[in-house]
Amino acid sequence: MALLQVTSLLLLCTFILGCQFVNAQDKSDTKVFYLVEAGVFPRLGEMKFGGEAYNYKGAGTTLRVTAGYFVSPNFSVGLGIGSDNFRDPVINTYPVFADLRAVLSPGKSSIIGFYKLGYGFKIGGSDEGLINNIGVGYQIAVGRNFIVPSIGYHRLDFKQHWKSIETKGDINSLSIMVGYQF
């Protein structure tokens, strides 16, 4: 199942990159962009699960793809999908999220701020929950595209279902990401 999910994400990324190369028009007036991000989620403090606190140190990893639209030169909205995976204990979700971004200096290297809000689904399993991710970054101009390193705060409020029992928990972590925006 994991191989299928990774393959699906890679095919989506390949399709988006292919669309970028097919569309050879000047990007100076386009408002649509795509962002592919990968990163880690080092944990902050304890994980709460079923009313108890656990001091797990396992970090998470993420791979996300976002399609966005600039509603003004300094502000964009977008939708994204991804794969978030935590270790110790293993919690895997596939988030679908809204992405809000503000950029200080559009079209060139600049400071950015972002907020992602969505829901992490579990395909064929039991982990799911609300995701919140807020942070800052710096978009580095590479031709007409950008490399976007960022740091922020990530929270997953999840629930697990086992038989007829639902248990709730939360994970708080840093989000350290590197993205490519085109």
Q: What is the pTM of this model?
A: 0.79
Mean pLDDT across the stretch 71-81?
Answer: 97
Whether 24 is covered by a domain: the verdict is no
Q: Which of 6-15, 53-62, 106-115 has the highest mean pLDDT?
A: 106-115
Whether 20 is covered by a domain: the verdict is no
CB crowding 115-139: b at 16 or more within 10 Å, else e: ebebebebeeeebbbbbbbebebeb
Whether 45 is covered by a domain: the verdict is yes
Whether 69 is covered by a domain: the verdict is yes
pLDDT tens digits, 123-169 = 766 678 999 999 999 999 999 999 999 999 999 988 776 667 777 88
4 versus 125: which is more confidently predicted? 125
Whether 86 is covered by a domain: the verdict is yes
Whether 8 is covered by a domain: the verdict is no
Mean pLDDT across the stretch 54-61?
Answer: 82
Contacts of 170 (CB under 8 A, 6+ apart): 47, 48, 155, 156, 157, 158
- Report the C-alpha gap between 93 and 108 in whole angstroms: 34
From residue 71, give the alpha-carbon distance in Å to each of 32, 63, 99, 155, 162.
10, 25, 13, 27, 43
pLDDT tens digits, 10-29 = 555 555 555 554 444 445 56
| pLDDT for residue 45 | 80
What is the percentage of the chain residues whose pLDDT exceeds 70? Answer: 81
- Report the C-alpha gap between 104 and 95 in whole angstroms: 27
Mean pLDDT across the stretch 100-123?
Answer: 94
Identify the CATH number of the domain in which residue 70 sits. 2.40.160.20
Residue numbers of the domain that contains 92: 32-181
Q: How many domains does the chain have?
A: 1
DSSP for 85-146 reads: EETTTTEEEEEEEEEEEEESSTTSSEEEEEEEEEEEE-TTSS-EEEEEEEEEEEEEEETTEE
| pLDDT for residue 109 | 97
Whether 18 is covered by a domain: the verdict is no
